[in-house]
Structure 1
Amino acid sequence: MEHSNSSENVTKSTSLSKSMKLPVFEKVAYSFTDLAGNLLYVTISTFIMYFYTDVAKISVASAGLILLVARIFDGISAPIWGSIVDHTHTKWGQSRPYFLWLAIPFAVAVFIAFLAPEFSESGKVWYAGITYVLAAGIIYTGIQTPITAILPNLTTDRTERVNANSFRMIGGLVGSILTSTFCLPLVALFGKGNDKVGFMWTLGIFGAIAVILLFTAFANVHERTQVNRAVPIKDSLKATVGNHPWYILVTAFVIFWISQADRMTMSIYYAKYNLGNEQLTSVFQVMQVVGIIGTMLIPFFVKITNKTKTMMIGLAVATFGQAMMSFVGSSFVLVIIAWGIGVFGSSVAIAMPFAMLADTVDYGEWKTGIRASGFLTAVGSAFCIQVGSGLGSFIPSKIMSAAGFVANKAQSATSLNAIHFSFIWLPIIVYVVVAAIMFFYLKYEKMEPTIKAELDSRRLSNDN
């Protein structure tokens, strides 16, 4: 296979520092980035559609369309943010400064997205669309991009990358658990029957915590491997040429996020209408703690298999858990056990592409001589999350709308079946498709030792 040996886009730092073991506290600080991100983003992903339909009184069809159009628009911003990161060179590094610069704007944007002004129906839709794009799209993408882009710059040691990514994903799960478990109870506590007030206070608290966490991450995470010049957008695009493992990951991850967003969005509807108690959503989400166990086991799974097979194992377990929910009847205990199995599997599966994206950055550098970590990881993470999440909210909203769903009313059997299908069977379909796509990644993972050896040789020559 042909590849460039260009020296224009060389990395800086010594071979020792690039492959060093990362301090535990630095990994913990890195986990704070996703903890903060998910504390706010999972709140949006899980509750914004419910907020629109049941609090702001926007129709379910309009709410679903807002989420789809906004997420596609936001997805377009991902490569732009990636290019911005690739052009960033400060005394603090390339990705790290954005933890400082965007922390407060992110918190404020999410806060105003959960306000419900008394506008006309069209005014509510426009307000929701604009604030949603700002919070869950433009600014969140600006946070998400450096969180992922910084990983290949922390170290070239692939084992350390997997370990650091596991810390990050645990932080993300903790953030997800916190918001999913405490959001509605806090809304009820502060709102005292007025959900508009409750959401306002709850998001204010979550935002303040997120700012502190991102500031802490900025102070304690360090980049050791980065390019010594800005990477023009045309060079970033060149890094995608022939980058087949990146193509595979991007395709699989977009589709995977349909299931992730669908499960988060539909959990409150399933709890409220199919199980009869919306507060049970918190019980569903506290089971995310099972995902922490799965994420902690990822380095072990990778060691005895590899990254691709670990992801496939996660998809298989998630499929089993989802299917089990459909066959345990109305027993809430059995539903929760099945949900926990699904959470375990999906937590393993979702973590792997973030770690594997760092390897596609290496592949692009090996093949083209261009290290475009910002662009490749932005499209491979933020773009996939935004577009996949948009589809993951839009598809069930169309299914529910077609079935005659009306918010805050007793649902027909057809509507309840639509919620059941969207919550349980749609993710299963997605998992099977993603597993089939990831099968083609196996051959590229086998090439990684050769690629690493050649890149280390080039960097050693450049250092000398």
Structure 2
Amino acid sequence: MTDQTSPQRLAKLSWRERIGYGLGDAGFNFYWAIIGSYLIFFYTDIFGISAAAAATMVTITKIVDAFTDPAMGAIADKTNTRWGKFRPYLLFGTLPMMGAGLLTMTTPDLGEGGKLLWAYATYMILMLTYTVLNMPYNSLSAVLTADAQERNTLNSTRFFFAYFTGIIVGAATPDLAEYFGGGDRYSPIGWQITMSIYAVVASILFVIAFATTKERIAPPADQKSEPLRDLKVLLTCKPWIIIFILAMVIMTTFTLRGSSATYYFKYFVERPDLLGTFVGLQVLGLMIGAMSASTLTRYVEKVRLLMVLMGIVSVLCFIFAFVPKPQALGVVDVNDAERTELAASELLAEEHQAGDTYRWTRYEKVFWIIKDRVELDNTSATLALEGLDNQTISVIKTRGDGSTLDSAAIPQEIIWMFILSILISLALGPKAPITWAMYADVADYNEWKTGRRATGMTFAATTFSQKMGSAAGSALMLSVLAALGYQANQAQSNASLDGIVYMQTLAPGAFAFIAIIALMFYDLTGDKLEAIQKELAAKNPE
């Protein structure tokens, strides 16, 4: 690795290197997207852990895991190999992380206490192995180049791939789990096989990221490793403290939206068949927003831009809370043991009239997520559910006057849910590439101010705050469910339904508003950053 006097400090990166680095984050999101969107649901509704126990487990394990970040940052800063400080971890940490992912999605037949112990152990190992790879990967973005706009472009590219993977995982996971579970989306084996596929693909992408990147910026040659001193510097650094708070708050927003979506569509909307599409489009909005970041920051200073975007998120989340529950069920997943028949009026919100006839249908997989509607042998106003367990049912009504009404048509309320969610995601999308560029700016700022460069510790302390935010979001979601009487795979009380709705809408909006307040105190902006880079270049002439 070259030292910081190299003429490559302000290197313009090739698209090969940008894409190679971005594919690394695609690999991480084969894990993170399933953790963020489905793991809590997996624990409560598939593995069979209570919401209260899962809340405690997720909170404790994530807090413990968060404290491993500074330790990993110190280890990475002390690492010196012919491949650099950070790249080697992408090569040697892949297999342990793959094994941890498979164990986390494994559901041994244990008692309640045994299940909880298994969840604690496997989830903690998964997050530890994730830290060993992810913390050095994040730090790598700060040592590829010191050019500010190049960093914006690099991080936009990175998050394009990250969110693209999120779309795949968000949209495909329920159907893949159902496919590999033999037609049962709640089958544990289906989830484990799905995770196995994700883990193999992720490992290949990590190796590609290792092979296509080059570290160009190193600490001063005479700098000694002093982790405690570097941590003390961070704790007195105003810009870092602000982005620490910002990262924690915004990650809480992301976690609440992701983890509550599954419950929102299963219990409030009562259309779990739309969950994959909802999550997929949500992540598509994030991806498009991330792609726009490098362009937007050419015209609007990034801190001011973030404040505007978080304001938009807050307002849209408030509006989202007022979208009512659809009047008709539309499509029903048959998984309620107590329900023996289904009335067409429940699906259509229209009572039976003389002369009305019905065509009941079930959804049958043709290939993977491609489905076909197969008619059932029933033309009456009710359908007996015997033998239709785990089937997705809808009905087409032909009125006496010849007009038709299809329960599978998307109600206006759901259309508004999709529109608002996509708009929120578009506004949230630029946050990730912008804030990651800000973390690299803080590493430069501390080098300028103290003469020491601790890239690993800077990013580790920041990912610590993100994990704390993720823990807070998960704990808040599960604690609210537990407090309001949530029971898995049963009809929910009005209080429980209200809690699910607020976790998807009002709570993320409130945290977005808090992010605006934090940004008001951040002053490491354009002119100041430009002056810092000039002084660093003067101290270390090329």
Q: TM-score range by the shorter chain?
A: over 0.9
Question: What is the 5 A alignment of 1:430-445?
Answer: 430-442=511-523, 444-445=525-526
**Matched residue, 1:3:** none
Alignment deviations for residues 105-132 of structure 1 (CA, whole Å, 9 cap, x no partner)? 1121111101111111111111101111
**Matched residue, 1:116:** 107
Alignment deviations for residues 290-344 of structure 1 (CA, whole Å, 9 cap, x no partner)? 2222111111211111121222232123223322322333411111000000111
Question: What is the 5 A alignment of 1:123-138?
Answer: 123-135=114-126, 137-138=127-128
Instruction: Return the letter of the residue paired with 1:256.
Output: I
**Matched residue, 1:6:** none
**Residue 359 (structure 1) aligned with residue 441 (structure 2):** yes
- In the TM superposition, residue 188 of structure 1 has moved relative to its aligned partner by 0.1
Stretches of structure 2 lacking an aligned partner (at least 5 in a row): 327-412
Q: Is the 8 A contact 2:4 2:540 kept in 1?
A: no
**Matched residue, 2:335:** none
**Matched residue, 1:59:** 50
- In the TM superposition, residue 230 of structure 1 has moved relative to its aligned partner by 5.6
Mapped to 2, the partners of 1:415 and 1:238 lie a distance apart of 44
**Residue 327 (structure 1) aligned with residue 337 (structure 2):** no
Mapped to 2, the partners of 1:225 and 1:453 lie a distance apart of 16
**Matched residue, 1:94:** 85
Alignment deviations for residues 438-459 of structure 1 (CA, whole Å, 9 cap, x no partner)? 1111355542111111111111
- In the TM superposition, residue 269 of structure 1 has moved relative to its aligned partner by 0.3
Q: Is the 8 A contact 1:181 1:282 kept in 2?
A: yes
Q: Is the 8 A contact 1:86 1:230 kept in 2?
A: no
Question: What is the 5 A alignment of 1:410-425?
Answer: 410-425=491-506
| Aligned with 1:316 (options 311, 318, 343) | 311
**Residue 199 (structure 1) aligned with residue 191 (structure 2):** yes
Q: Is the 8 A contact 1:314 1:344 kept in 2?
A: no
**Matched residue, 2:214:** 222
**RMSD of aligned Cα (Å):** 1.6
Q: Is the 8 A contact 1:290 1:344 kept in 2?
A: yes
**Matched residue, 2:66:** 75
Say if 1:15 and 1:313 are closer, same or farther in 2 by CA, change over 3 A. Answer: farther
**Residue 348 (structure 1) aligned with residue 424 (structure 2):** no
SS at match of 1:150: helix
Mapped to 2, the partners of 1:295 and 1:441 lie a distance apart of 21
- In the TM superposition, residue 200 of structure 1 has moved relative to its aligned partner by 1.1
Alignment deviations for residues 185-241 of structure 1 (CA, whole Å, 9 cap, x no partner)? 000000022621101110000000000100111100111111246622133224315
Q: Number of aligned pairs? A: 450
Question: What is the 5 A alignment of 1:8-19?
Answer: 12-19=3-10
Mapped to 2, the partners of 1:222 and 1:235 lie a distance apart of 28
Instruction: Return the letter of the residue paired with 1:187.
Output: A
SS at match of 1:404: coil
Higher share in strand = 2
Deviates more, 1:350-359 or 1:180-189: 350-359
**Residue 167 (structure 1) aligned with residue 157 (structure 2):** yes
| Aligned with 1:50 (options 24, 35, 41) | 41
**Matched residue, 2:176:** 186
**Residue 249 (structure 1) aligned with residue 243 (structure 2):** yes
Mapped to 2, the partners of 1:178 and 1:317 lie a distance apart of 26
Instruction: Return the letter of the residue paired with 1:253.
Output: A
TM-score by length of 2: 0.81
Instruction: Return the letter of the residue paired with 1:279.
Output: D
Q: Is the 8 A contact 2:152 2:433 kept in 1?
A: no
Q: Is the 8 A contact 1:317 1:344 kept in 2?
A: no
Alignment deviations for residues 232-290 of structure 1 (CA, whole Å, 9 cap, x no partner)? 21332243153210111001111211111111110000010011022322111111212
Mapped to 2, the partners of 1:423 and 1:50 lie a distance apart of 14
Write out the 4+ residue segments of structure 1 that deviate beyond 3 Å after TM superposition.
Answer: 442-446
**Residue 274 (structure 1) aligned with residue 355 (structure 2):** no
Alignment deviations for residues 13-41 of structure 1 (CA, whole Å, 9 cap, x no partner)? 54421111100111011111111101111
Q: Is the 8 A contact 1:191 1:197 kept in 2?
A: yes
**Residue 386 (structure 1) aligned with residue 501 (structure 2):** no
Q: Is the 8 A contact 1:107 1:208 kept in 2?
A: yes
Alignment deviations for residues 117-155 of structure 1 (CA, whole Å, 9 cap, x no partner)? 1111111111101111111x2111122211211111000
Instruction: Return the letter of the residue paired with 1:281.
Output: L
TM-score by length of 1: 0.94
Instruction: Return the letter of the residue paired with 1:301.
Output: L
Mapped to 2, the partners of 1:39 and 1:401 lie a distance apart of 29
**Residue 285 (structure 1) aligned with residue 279 (structure 2):** yes
Instruction: Return the letter of the residue paired with 1:342.
Output: I
| Structure label with greater radius of gyration | 2
Stretches of structure 1 lacking an aligned partner (at least 5 in a row): 1-9
**Residue 142 (structure 1) aligned with residue 114 (structure 2):** no
**Matched residue, 1:370:** 452
Question: What is the 5 A alignment of 1:295-314?
Answer: 295-314=290-309
Alignment deviations for residues 338-372 of structure 1 (CA, whole Å, 9 cap, x no partner)? 00001111112233221100000011111111100
SS at match of 1:17: coil
Q: Is the 8 A contact 1:320 1:341 kept in 2?
A: no
Q: Is the 8 A contact 2:29 2:165 kept in 1?
A: yes
Q: Is the 8 A contact 1:15 1:456 kept in 2?
A: no
Instruction: Return the letter of the residue paired with 1:64.
Output: A
Say if 1:129 and 1:241 are closer, same or farther in 2 by CA, change over 3 A. Answer: closer
**Matched residue, 1:158:** 148
